[in-house]
Amino acid sequence: MIKKQLLCCSAVLLLVLLSKLYSYNVAASTDAPDALLHDSLSQGEWLLEDISNIRNTPYFTSLNFADETLPLGDKRIEKKMLKHLKEYSFAKRRSHLLHHKALKTLPRVAAILRQHGIPEDFKYIPLVESGFTSGTTSHRGASGYWQFMPNTAKAFGLRVDSLVDERQNVEKSTVAAAKYIKALYREFNSWTLVAAAFNVGEGNLLRAISRQNEDNYFRLKLNQETGNYVYKLISVKEIIEHPHRHGYRTNTLLADATDDNSPDSRKL
């Protein structure tokens, strides 16, 4: 009798375990596509050929810069966007210091941009241009948080001379940037084109638009840096606003937030 009872109990326990295992597998297989995408992005498992599986997910279709979305349906554009999202994932970049700088400085930059009617997404330009590091100067002479050329900086109210360089001041250079961005928008009437013009110069961009008879940033053929520029801004926006989607963990962010040797302290 005891053996029979033990056999019955074992059979019931086995059935319960099998039921739990089945429920777990069903739940895992029915997770939202977004969750699968986020995990895959952070682990680098999505190949470019897999774009057809994610192009219609809410996450991918929501990607935008200043509310201007990608023209989805163009495989070249979609693959390029996915490539940059992977490039900025935790598996590729250890950007703890970048998050630390963003937490400290972005609110001040965003407040100034709002006062001038500029979309807040432009606050990510200093992260891409200088990594929010003052004193950086390119070989062409661009310097400061927004990497202003001297003449452009002066044209929009900054003092740049042998004694003072206001390009290194976050607040003053952001006010100048807001004025410049507003002027560019009057010229191009598109925020993505404004971002491109900020990078390459309005004259160069106007010539490219005229030559190609195309005024959609994502479809323009531009130099490599400018052609990647808005994709970088969108990717940086994503890793700052939704770090967990790209493999970041709060504990590692806090542990390494003040690591000055982190590679993300450089220009992105």
- pLDDT surpasses 80 at 129: yes
- pLDDT surpasses 90 at 136: no
Please tell me which residue, 62 or 28, carries the higher pLDDT value. 62
At 57-114, the pLDDT tens digits run: 788 889 999 999 998 888 899 989 988 988 877 665 555 566 677 778 899 999 999 9
| Rg value, the chain, Cα | 24
Decide if 77 contacts 48 (C-beta within 8 A).
no
The amino acid occupying position 75 is K
Please tell me which residue, 234 or 8, carries the higher pLDDT value. 234
Pick the catalytic residue from 129, 187, 202, 225. 129
> Where do we find the tokens 């059935």?
15
Report d(CA 5, CA 195) in Å as an integer. Answer: 75
For the chain, the average pLDDT equals: 78
Q: Which pLDDT band, with edges at 50, 70 and 90, does 47 fall under?
A: very low
Which tokens belong to 243?
A: 């770090």
Report d(CA 83, CA 105) in Å as an integer. Answer: 28
Report d(CA 235, CA 177) in Å as an integer. Answer: 21
Decide if 119 contacts 67 (C-beta within 8 A).
yes
Q: What is the pLDDT of residue 60?
A: 83
Report d(CA 65, CA 136) in Å as an integer. Answer: 26
> Where do we find the tokens 């029979």?
4
Report d(CA 185, CA 188) in Å as an integer. Answer: 5
Report d(CA 25, CA 70) in Å as an integer. Answer: 35
Please tell me which residue, 122 or 18, carries the higher pLDDT value. 122
Mean pLDDT of 127-141: 81
How many C-beta neighbours within 10 Å does residue 13 have?
10
- Helices 191-200 and 202-212 cross at an angle (nearest 10°) of 120
At 206-263, the pLDDT tens digits run: 999 999 999 999 999 999 999 999 999 999 998 888 877 766 655 544 444 444 444 4
Q: 129 an active-site residue?
A: yes
Which tokens belong to 199?
A: 């990078």
Which tokens belong to 146?
A: 């927004």
Report d(CA 215, CA 205) in Å as an integer. Answer: 10
- pLDDT surpasses 50 at 20: no
